[in-house]
Structure 1
Amino acid sequence: MPVRELLARTSSRELTEWMAYEKVTGPLDSRLRTDISAGIVAATVANSQGSKRKLQPSDFIPKWFKRRKSPEEIWQDVLKANAALGGSVNTPDE
């Protein structure tokens, strides 16, 4: 879907929620997770070549995030992304 169509059909709130979800879980499109398959192959090849220690696929998979964020930190990221996209936040008082 072209970006223009995506923005016309998706609210700022929904897009922000998907962005936050992807930040936690990694890429939504499974085709982009070829890093897992490549990690398995790389570990197999490295281990078959007499590596000094037994390597795991995770040794070859990029770390999507340096550390896990707290729910509060994720919420702050969501608010920033929402504001950047021109969204607003509705509070229960409104």
Structure 2
Amino acid sequence: MRHLLADIDSDELTEWMAYERVTGPLGPRRTDVLHGIHTAVVANTAAAKGRKAKPQDFIPEWDQTRPPDVQQMLATVRTVTAALGGTDHTIRR
């Protein structure tokens, strides 16, 4: 951040922020969004009728301030699997 602020003044940084608002996110976040869109399209081609995935379902949250909650991750996978009409083979019958 220090290097960025040494090379770019606040006017230019504000212009880049405005540009990003118009064109969408830049850098790695944009790549995550584009992959989320692509993955949702692919998933929806195989989804049961009426069950549609959203790009947000496939975009990771990069919050490194807390350890991952394994139960929450499993719940998310089960939700997406159900939304796509899949079968949860981890449930013993």
Q: What range describes the TM-score normalised by the shorter chain of this pair?
A: 0.3 to 0.5
Higher relative contact order structure (alpha carbons within 8 Å, sequence separation ≥ 6): 1
TM-score (norm 2): 0.46
